[in-house]
Amino acid sequence: MAKGRSGGSFRSAISGRFVTAKHGKASPRTTVFERSGGGSTGGTYRSAISGRFVTTAHGKRSPSTTIKDS
């Protein structure tokens, strides 16, 4: 794995399931890298494309490119 990417896994924004690192790296627009031991974000949405937090309205409009953090 690349430096700074250890201790986590990739999750699909479409299905919500964990995927292999190979798939995560091959599909950066629809997967999110999650670090292990992360804290709760209170149910906010995050973009799989940019990694930034987005509004709830945007998250609900774009279910295949956003992930709801818990």
Nearest to 65 by CA among 41, 33, 35, 31: 31
The pTM assigned to this predicted structure is 0.57
**The most confident of 2-11, 22-31, 38-47, by mean pLDDT:** 22-31
Nearest to 46 by CA among 9, 10, 13, 8: 13
Q: Look up residue 15 and give its two tokens.
A: 């299905």
- On whether the CB atoms of residues 33 and 8 are closer than 8 A, the answer is yes
Percent of the residues in the chain that have a pLDDT greater than 70, as a whole number:
83
Q: What pLDDT does 1 receive?
A: 42
Q: What pLDDT does 69 receive?
A: 77
Chain segment 42-69, per-residue pLDDT in tens:
778 888 888 888 999 999 999 888 888 7
